[in-house]
């Protein structure tokens, strides 16, 4: 795979919907600076670009966005424009969107229910600085700001608004600004008329959906795994000025897998209630599976599908369900699953990989200081080349970001870019990763910079001890929080010949000062609250001990990154330069936290290959 081919294959899909007799979705255009366009496929297979340039359906709520568009049955497109963050309406046959909200706030998590449009609003202007769940009128009457469209607001965070069948109540997820949603989040039911508000007892609630006017299905990990639970409303009169909690019923049989995950983006859905009451759900235990449950939660069927990573059940119509995601042997894409027939068809992307080039990842487990360390091994593969059997291959140990996230072992263009050149890739799900239950995830509580580093080093040594990788030709690579672990592992030393740091955290104190609202208190749980834990921040930060790094480092950074500003990468660059440690620093204009532009993706890939060639002792092919 060439670097240009990698960039061309780098389109990202954000959501899929049924509407106007067709299937709609949004995808990025790397050659247009990552613009998110909206497309529609008609029943005859023809594909039309509905949202033309320069419009881009992209939300910046919580910085990571999600749920930036939806579509009505008549083909009316409702979307958040990436430029002004206002919600707009694009009528069928028109090419001129009409604004529906006033300038200033940002919107995301759009959801159209019973003809009513709900969204999460974020207003970070100093005189406001609050978030809300809003209902947005379609007629544009709120576009000048003269009409208050907020249903409820607070300084905390919201997600997943869901309207009851009779239209009288709204369920949603809420968490405080001092916690992250995978630590503590509640499900709330609010009445439109009157002060009624009920809290569903939950530990880390996700995605409330209505079964009937009086019953809500939601995910929670109170048992150590995100499983499905039901809550019934108690409509007896509550005492004055008090809210009566909903009655929780754990009637769904628990599974040793997660129906849920880190709530980084708005709009992701881990289960869907079908029209006949059956439930389609994603279950994650490292990789994803798709199961069908009856109305009582009993397992009816597990589907044999080609997709098994980062799945979202986007929309349903009868027995048909649109699913986005990726897989170990298929390209990322959109599929339509017929739950009755048990068949799938690819709508966009999803092309099967040639097993000669992509044989599929192998789940592996290594012994770590605190228990097992889960990972996925992508071995080098190229049918046109036979490797010297007496020489072990070089490897990249990949560290995912987050850190509350996980790798699924799915095929990815960047992985094939390296494995097709004889460089293996090991994706490590260090302690703190999702997909293995709460106990595994909370290993990282207060231990960021310790547990993650221990586990990544254990995985690298496990590769070498098992005779999988050349012990002197293993590099470590990661972005964002993964970049923190890369730099911390290089500070520790002894396992890696080089490091690739993609917009990584170098100074935890600077991150705590500079980072955005969504993660403002993230480090309180990962390291400790400031100022009490300031010395721990200093001791753990790679920048403090950068003098210990004695192997080459490649640093890649976006100039417009609001999550990890360039100052973090530049501090590491300066520390390496001061000691004469071989390094390269590339700053990409117009890029934020993660690279979207084709030129950037291509240049970064070429830089990484050139860098590894110098470290591992080979000349990269043109």
Tell me, letter by letter, the H, E, C secondary structure of 422-477: CCEEEEEECCCCCCCCHHHHHHHCCCCCCHHHHHHHHHHHHHHHCCCCCCCCEEEE
Q: What is the mean pLDDT of residues 100-128?
A: 94
Closest listed residue to residue 555, CA positions, set 615, 477, 479, 501? 501
So what's the pLDDT on residue 501?
98
Tell me what pLDDT residue 197 has. Answer: 79
pLDDT at 8 over 80: no
Q: Is residue 9 part of a domain?
A: yes
Average pLDDT over residues 458-480: 97
CATH number of the domain within which 587 lies = 3.40.50.1820
| φ/ψ (deg, to 5) at 316 | -145, 155
Computed over every residue of the chain, the mean pLDDT equals: 93
Residue 332 in any domain: the answer is no
For residues 147-163, give the mean pLDDT: 89
Does 13 reside within a domain? Answer: yes
Which of 111, 130, 155 is a domain's end point? Answer: 155
Confidence label for 305 from pLDDT (cuts 50, 70 and 90): very high
Does the pLDDT value for residue 195 go beyond 90? no
9 pLDDT higher than 80: no
Rounded mean pLDDT, 223-229: 93
Q: Is the pLDDT of residue 315 over 60?
A: yes
How far does the chain reach from its first CA to its final CA, in angstroms?
A: 11
Provide DSSP, 307-331.
--EEEEEEEEETTEEEEEEE-SSB-
Question: How far from 251 is each of 25, 221, 227, 281, 283, CA to CA, in Å?
Answer: 35, 14, 10, 16, 17
Range of the domain at 100: 1-155
As a whole-number percent, the residues of the chain with pLDDT over 70 amount to 97
Q: What is the pLDDT at residue 10?
A: 66
Burial class (CB in 10 A: 0-12, 13-18, 19+), 146: exposed
**Total structural domains within the chain:** 2
Position 622 scores a pLDDT of 66
Residue 311, domain member (yes or no): no
Give the mean model confidence (pLDDT) for residues 174-194.
90
Query: Tokens in use for 474?
Result: 């293993």
> What average pLDDT score do residues 501-509 get?
94
pLDDT at 265 over 90: yes
Last residue of a domain, one of 133, 155, 177: 155
Note whether residue 215 is domain-resident. no
What is the arithmetic mean of pLDDT over 503-512?
A: 92
Q: Give the confidence band of 251 by pLDDT, cuts at 50, 70, 90.
A: low
Whether 320 maps to a domain, the answer reads no
Least confident residue range of 364-378, 411-425, 509-523: 509-523
The predicted pLDDT at position 565 comes to 86
242 pLDDT above the threshold of 60: no
What number is the average pLDDT over the span 100-105? 96
- CA 153 to chain centroid, in Å, comes to 25
- Do residues 565 and 512 make contact, with C-beta atoms less than 8 angstroms apart? no
Count of Cβ atoms closer than 10 Å to residue 113 Cβ = 17
**Domain-located, residue 568:** yes
- Among 128, 155, 182, the domain-final residue is 155
What mean pLDDT comes out for the span 464-478?
Answer: 97
E-strand spans in 20-101? 22-29, 35-41, 47-49, 69-71, 77-80, 87-90, 98-99
The answer to whether residue 19 is domain-embedded is yes
Rg (CA), the chain: 24
What local confidence, expressed as pLDDT, does residue 68 receive? 97
pLDDT tens, residue by residue, 603-617: 999 999 999 999 999
Instruction: Supply the pLDDT for residue 7.
Output: 81
């Amino acid at each position: 795979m060439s670097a240009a081919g990698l960039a061309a294959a780098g389109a990202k899909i954000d959501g899929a919907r049924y509407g106007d007799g067709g299937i709609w979705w949004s995808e990025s255009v790397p050659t247009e600076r990552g613009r998110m366009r909206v497309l529609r496929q008609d029943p005859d297979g023809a594909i039309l670009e509905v949202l033309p340039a320069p419009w881009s359906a992209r939300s910046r709520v919580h910085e990571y966005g999600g749920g930036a568009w939806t579509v009505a049955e008549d083909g009316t497109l409702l979307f958040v424009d990436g430029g002004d963050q206002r919600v707009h309406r694009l009528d069928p046959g028109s090419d001129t969107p009409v604004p529906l909200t006033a300038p200033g706030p940002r919107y995301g998590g759009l959801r159209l229910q019973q003809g009513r449009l709900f969204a999460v609003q974020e207003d970070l202007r100093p005189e406001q600085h609050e978030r809300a769940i809003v209902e947005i009128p379609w007629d544009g009457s709120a576009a000048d700001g003269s009409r208050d469209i907020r249903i409820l607001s607070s300084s905390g965070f919201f997600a997943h608004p869901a309207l009851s069948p009779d239209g009288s109540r709204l369920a949603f997820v809420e968490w405080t600004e001092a916690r992250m949603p995978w630590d503590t989040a509640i499900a709330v039911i609010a009445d439109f008329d009157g002060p009624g508000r009920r809290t569903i007892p939950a530990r880390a609630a996700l995605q409330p959906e209505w079964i009937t006017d009086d019953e809500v299905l939601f995910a929670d990990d109170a048992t150590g795994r995100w499983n499905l639970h039901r809550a019934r409303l108690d409509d007896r009169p509550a005492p004055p000025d008090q809210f009566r909690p909903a009655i929780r019923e754990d009637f769904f049989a628990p599974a040793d897998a997660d129906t849920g995950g880190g709530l980084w983006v708005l709009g992701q859905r881990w289960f869907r209630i079908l029209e006949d009451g059956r439930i389609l759900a994603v279950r994650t235990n490292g990789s994803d599976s798709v199961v069908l449950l009856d109305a009582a939660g009993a397992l009816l069927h597990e589907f044999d599908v080609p997709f098994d990573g980062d799945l979202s059940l986007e929309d349903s119509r009868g027995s048909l369900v649109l699913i986005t995601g990726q897989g170990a042997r298929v390209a990322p894409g959109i599929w339509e699953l017929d739950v009755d027939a048990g068949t799938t068809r690819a709508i966009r992307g999803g092309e099967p990989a040639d097993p000669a080039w992509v044989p599929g990842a192998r789940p592996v487990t290594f012994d770590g200081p605190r228990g097992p360390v889960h990972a996925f091994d992508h071995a080098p593969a190229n049918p046109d080349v036979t490797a010297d059997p007496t020489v072990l291959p070089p490897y990249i140990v990949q560290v995912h970001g987050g850190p509350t996230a996980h790798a699924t072992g799915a095929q990815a263009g960047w992985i094939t870019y390296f494995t097709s050149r004889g460089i293996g890739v090991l994706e490590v799900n260090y302690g703190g990763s999702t997909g293995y239950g709460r106990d595994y995830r909370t290993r990282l509580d207060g231990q960021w910079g310790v547990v993650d580093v221990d586990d990544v080093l254990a995985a690298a040594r496990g590769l070498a001890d098992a005779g999988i990788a050349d012990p002197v030709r293993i590099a470590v690579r990661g972005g964002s929080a993964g970049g923190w672990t890369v730099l911390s592992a290089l500070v520790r030393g002894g396992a890696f010949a080089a490091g690739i740091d993609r917009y990584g955290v170098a100074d935890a104190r600077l991150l705590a000062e500079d980072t955005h609202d969504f993660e403002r208190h993230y480090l309180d749980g990962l390291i400790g609250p400031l100022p009490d834990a300031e010395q721990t921040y200093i001791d753990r930060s790679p920048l403090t001990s950068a003098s210990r790094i004695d192997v080459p480092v490649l640093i890649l950074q976006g100039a417009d990154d609001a999550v990890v500003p360039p100052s973090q990468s530049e501090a590491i660059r300066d520390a390496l330069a001061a000691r004469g440690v071989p390094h390269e620093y590339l700053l990409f204009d117009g890029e934020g936290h993660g690279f979207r532009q084709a030129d950037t993706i291509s240049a970064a890939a070429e830089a990484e290959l050139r860098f590894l060639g110098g470290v591992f002792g080979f000349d990269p092919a043109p």
